[in-house]
Amino acid sequence: MNFQTIPPVPLAKELLNATFRKSRERANVKKFSGELWQRLQKRELLKVDMAAGNLKERLERLVERFPVASQLPSFYATLLKVTLDFPLFRKSLGALRWASLQITVLQKHYVRKMSRERNLKGFQGLTKEFYGRVSSVIKQVDPQLKELEAARKILRTYPDIKEGLFTVCLYGFPNVGKTTLLNLLAKTKAKTAAYAFTTLTINSGFMTLDGKTIQVLDVPGTLARPDKMNPIEQQAELVVQELADVIVFVLDLSEQCGYSLARQEQLLAKAEKRKSVLLYVSKKDLLHKEQLALYPHAYSEPEELKQEILRRAEQKERDEKKSEEAITEKDAP
């Protein structure tokens, strides 16, 4: 899914200024028939209807463009609740719906009043009064507009997950070299740095091997503390739980990541209980042969790791095909 298309959320002042300017300009260029009071009445009614219609349309469009958790795949629905203040997010969308309804009520009220008015000054006075009350409604939801703009910026960081692809999760402590490995495997240009927690969201990439597309997800570093996970770490656990076909555990034998080998091995043992794991040793240029020899089954070359990932992907495809054939045979008369 792609969340990049959610439009920026304007602040109350910007929304009101654009709406009133547009309605005023369009009403002033339109020609009306009838006596003077009728022409003025029609012009002011058009301003009211245009302002109300434009505001309601923009508010409703904003609400529609944000995702509904109950309609999302499980991964995205949970990610939404992990990365956002979800109750506040829902309340903010509800506030925009409320504002749209209030504008409808005000529109009907002032259209009725204006339709009965015959005084030339009265028309403009009613328009001004309508603008004032509508402005009050929109200003009331300004905090919610700001909240939704902040939410939009977070949603834009979500990876575009492709369902049905074999998925690899790059996993390990912060600063062990997961993002560097992603860039090597998938030819991406994700940000790397020599300090922990460089990756604050899920980075995604794709590699094509023998015509097969494989999805690679680089998740934020975890500190392996189930009872104290922050939202950044929860994203890593969510990918493991919901998406990963195989975990590539990135091990930093140099310990330059700031975490001891013993702690890394503890996290590795936990990962192996959850999913199939491939071990990759990073920062090979900092290691001695003796250190690498301690992990004979680990990969230290990205190309070798790629081939093993491909083998796993092909094996999963064969297993799924056999399973489908078995179901077909079972259901056959």
Q: Which residue ranges make up each domain of the chain?
A: 12-155, 166-330
Q: pTM for this one?
A: 0.79
Residue 36 CB: number of other CB atoms within 10 A?
Answer: 8
Choose the CATH number for 166-330 among 3.40.50.300, 3.30.390.30, 3.10.690.10, 1.10.10.10.
3.40.50.300
Asked if residues 145 and 12 have their Cβ atoms less than 8 Å apart, the reply is yes
pLDDT at 124: 82
Share of the chain above pLDDT 70, in %: 92
Residues 243-286 have pLDDT tens digits of 999 999 999 999 998 999 999 999 999 999 999 999 999 988 88
Asked if residues 280 and 250 have their Cβ atoms less than 8 Å apart, the reply is yes
Asked if residues 281 and 300 have their Cβ atoms less than 8 Å apart, the reply is yes
The band of 98, judged by pLDDT with boundaries at 50, 70 and 90, is very high
**At residue 45, what is the residue type?**
L
- Rounded to 5 degrees, φ, ψ at 212 are -105, 130
Region at 106 (left for phi over 0; alpha for psi -120 to 50; beta for the rest): alpha
- Whether residue 6 has pLDDT greater than 50: yes
Between 129-133, 228-232, 325-329, the lowest mean confidence (pLDDT) is in: 228-232
pLDDT at 238: 87
Which of 140-149, 221-230, 297-306 is predicted most confidently?
140-149
- Whether residue 230 has pLDDT greater than 90: no
Q: What is the DSSP letter of 190?
A: -
Looking at every residue in the chain, the average pLDDT score rounds to 87
- Whether residue 146 has pLDDT greater than 90: yes
How far is residue 3 from each of residues 61, 87, 167, 261, 276, measured CA to CA in Å?
A: 15, 20, 20, 38, 30
**At residue 51, what is the residue type?**
A
Tell me whether domains 12-155 and 166-330 share a fold.
no
CATH class entry, domain 12-155:
mainly alpha
